[in-house]
Structure 1
Amino acid sequence: MKMKLQESMKKAGMIGISLLIVVCIVLVAMPYVKPQTLVQEQDLYEYTITPKTTYEVYLVENNLYEENPQEEGKNYFTNLIQYIKSSFGFDIVASKEAQFKGEYEVIAEVVGYTNKGDTKEIIWSKSYPLSGKQAFEGVGERWSEEQALDINFHSYNQFAQAVGESVKVNLPSELVISMKGNIQIEAEGKVVEQPIHTSLTMPLGTQYFSILKQGVEPKNDRVRQNIEVKVEPSGTRTVGLVLLIGLGIGGLVFLMGFTVPPTGEDLKRIRAKKLFNQHGSRMVGVQEVNDTGYIERYKVSNMEDLIKIADELEKPVLYPYNRNLEKITRFYVMSGQTLYFYEINETSGKAKSVESISETVHGESI
């Protein structure tokens, strides 16, 4: 049995389903016609730069310490120091073969300063190059540099005392031995540069002191680049769209092959059912309606107008009762010699256009 469907609804359904199919086809084809890309960060290589700064304090012969040289991190008496043996350098480790190059130098600097809060304000300074500029270059996954230097602590201490005596100003002073330089790493076409600065700081003009080591923390980083990655179409999304296309085609086949427009009787049944749902409480079903013998008869254009007339006249809306709704096509309001009625159109199920009829009836039935 074919489903009954009004032609307007059938056309609207076919248009809607066709549009849905076209949209789904476009959505399925779009990732292949114009592939989408996503920008992602890609790790090229990783590197670690580990500064190496060490020292040992050698003592003159004395009856206090048996251990000579003295290791790092202790307090040292100025009068017992012979010299300080230091070493400055660094290790570079890369995750893949790279080119390393750069330069560095080791400098001794004697400074006189004054304290301003938590900061030092340098009043005077004197620098001494210890190693000269050292250049390096090589290829591999590892590279190391090292400079060993003996520091004559007493010569710097005496220089600071001489400066104080000459300028007649007694300022705190210190000796800073530092390695400064620049390291360049190149791999996978990407170049990075990292400065390096490590130092040993020791006060001058004191009876004992400790040595402060700075800038020895390892530096670890990754070199990245942005790349465009093709976004593969989602399998779940594609399957869902294909299923929608299939359902849409099935819907078109159903609408074209398994639906028929409703007959006039079907439309009248639908219209009558609607009228009863809307105005059933105002209607009275009778076995038979005698609609002859009225001097004036008026045909109204819709049921709403007939209800208004019934309200004005305080009369019920009558109709000939029938179990088959499609057989109920006329509704009446009677007042004296005047008859008002509304008739459901036999072909479309819609009310006819507004029409008023006034006629003299000579035994004629409508």
Structure 2
Amino acid sequence: MRLGKIELGKKVRVAILLLLMLLLAASLYNLYRVYREPTVVSKNLPVYSYEQRGQIDYQVQIRPNSIFNETTLGPGQTYYAKLVKSIDAVCSYRFTADAAAEMKADYRIVAVVEAPKMWRKEFILVPETAVQATGKTLVFSRPFAIDLESYNQFLKSVNEELGVNAREPRLVIRADIDLEARSAAGRVAEKLAPTMEIPLTSGEFRIVGNLTPQKSAALTRTVQIPDPDAQERRIKACIPPVALFLLLVVFSLVTAGRSSAGPDLVEVVWRQHGDRMVRAGDDFSLPEDLITVSLSSLEDLVKVADEAGKPLIYQEGAPPHKFTCYVIDGLTVYSCRVAEFDQGINAAALFSGRTHYSAGAAASRRDQSFGDI
């Protein structure tokens, strides 16, 4: 069983075909781009991983008083400057790696008295010291004391010397730690600086700062490994062009452009003879008592209308792109049914408005038509 093709307007069909071809071209370009992508990716693999951690721990020694029974207060509390006798601190550091190396740590501990945006003064608490180790771990711990009263006295003398009281003065204790490790995978150079900040005030205060900094890192090596998603991307990129190509083929086979010759011819006739043409309604029908003469071409019907001085009656047929023209002369009706472009009409002549007919040929055609009746 042969199925008929689906008729579409020529412009619609061409537009759909162009759209499908553009989509196919875009999908083919995407397929080309995907296949041009490398199938391997670069990845950094750790070959020497390490972690370092520093800490400044402290205990606050207080003078005998009527409020506190303790002589030592631990970290994280509120302290009163007049009761503080001294601060005992310990700076500790630990470096740990996953492979053996030659390690060296240089550190020093300083105290900085400063008034932000005004002045600062640095004091050495622990001079630069070196610690060396071989293996996976380097550890050191260094105790030191902080005489808070001496720094308050220094602040007072600076204020008197400058004649300006420091705004928000503070004491910063900082441990500068430089580490170097040489392993089979390469050299590591790291810095770490635990700090504690103590407000220099005659009232109450709390100790803050970056007391326990830590850092993890690794030496890496770049390697090329297969891209696990490359094959999947290629398969997905193949689907759209294949589907669009099949859709384009099927659409081309099952559809056909609808002929628009009928409406074009009506436009031509109306352009030439619109001043004496009338369009009949859908309910138009010919009386049964009229004599019907079917003419073979629209050219003959136009000649009859010219000689009879009658209008051309135009009526669209039920099937698309078909129409019928009539000329009613008395009890005689001349008709011509057109389904496609009538070869009897000279289209160029109709457009130019210069249609000429031979008188003898017209009479001969008319006699032949009446003879057929």
TM-score range, shorter chain: 0.5 to 0.7
Identity of aligned residues (%): 13
Are the equivalent residues in 1 in contact too, given 2:56–2:194 (CA < 8 A)? Answer: no
**Residue identity matched to 1:33:** Y
- TM-score, with normalisation over the residues of structure 1? 0.54
Of the three residues 125, 139, 145, the one matched with 1:150 is: 145
Closer/same/farther in 2, CA of residues 350 and 181 from structure 1, 3 Å limit:
farther
| CA deviations over 1:281-300 (Å, ceiling 9, x no partner) | 397547643589xxxxx965
Of the three residues 201, 207, 210, the one matched with 1:215 is: 210
Gaps of 5+ in 1: 114-118, 293-297
Of the three residues 196, 200, 214, the one matched with 1:199 is: 196
Displacement of 1:70 in angstroms is 3.4
Closer/same/farther in 2, CA of residues 178 and 345 from structure 1, 3 Å limit:
closer
Alignment root-mean-square deviation, CA = 6.5
| CA deviations over 1:248-284 (Å, ceiling 9, x no partner) | 44556668xxx9x99xxxx89x949x97xx9453975
Q: Following superposition of structure 1 onto structure 2, how do residues 283-322 of structure 1 map, counting pairs within 5 Å?
A: 285=286, 288-290=291-293, 300=299, 315=311, 317=313
Q: Following superposition of structure 1 onto structure 2, how do residues 131-210 of structure 1 map, counting pairs within 5 Å?
A: 131-132=127-128, 134=130, 145-153=140-148, 163=157, 167=161, 175-181=171-177, 196-201=193-198, 203=200, 210=205
For residues 59 and 324 of structure 1, what CA distance do their matches in structure 2 show?
Answer: 111
Q: Which residue of 1 aligns with 2:345?
A: 352
Q: Residue 213 of structure 1: SS of its match in structure 2?
A: coil
Closer/same/farther in 2, CA of residues 318 and 233 from structure 1, 3 Å limit:
closer
Q: Which residue of 2 aligns with 1:295?
A: none
For residues 63 and 6 of structure 2, what CA distance do their matches in structure 1 show?
Answer: 114
Q: Following superposition of structure 1 onto structure 2, how do residues 1-366 of structure 1 map, counting pairs within 5 Å?
A: 1=2, 3=4, 19=21, 23=25, 26=28, 29-30=31-32, 33-35=35-37, 51-58=54-61, 67-72=70-75, 73-75=77-79, 81=85, 83-90=86-93, 103-110=106-113, 121-122=118-119, 125=121, 127-132=123-128, 134=130, 145-153=140-148, 163=157, 167=161, 175-181=171-177, 196-201=193-198, 203=200, 210=205, 212-216=207-211, 218=213, 232-233=232-233, 238-250=238-250, 271=262, 279-281=279-281, 285=286, 288-290=291-293, 300=299, 315=311, 317=313, 331-333=325-327, 344=338, 352-353=345-346, 354=349, 355-360=355-360, 361=363, 364-366=367-369
Displacement of 1:106 in angstroms is 0.4
| CA deviations over 1:144-167 (Å, ceiling 9, x no partner) | 553211335565566667x46995
Are the equivalent residues in 2 in contact too, given 1:180–1:198 (CA < 8 A)? Answer: no
Number of matched residues? Answer: 324
Closer/same/farther in 2, CA of residues 202 and 356 from structure 1, 3 Å limit:
closer
For residues 318 and 112 of structure 2, what CA distance do their matches in structure 1 show?
Answer: 117
Q: Residue 132 of structure 1: SS of its match in structure 2?
A: strand
Gaps of 5+ in 2: 267-277, 350-354
Q: Residue 145 of structure 2: SS of its match in structure 1?
A: strand
Are the equivalent residues in 2 in contact too, given 1:107–1:179 (CA < 8 A)? Answer: yes
| CA deviations over 1:291-327 (Å, ceiling 9, x no partner) | 89xxxxx9659x9x89xx79x96646389xx99999x
Displacement of 1:29 in angstroms is 4.4
Displacement of 1:128 in angstroms is 2.7
Are the equivalent residues in 1 in contact too, given 2:292–2:334 (CA < 8 A)? Answer: no
For residues 154 and 16 of structure 2, what CA distance do their matches in structure 1 show?
Answer: 101
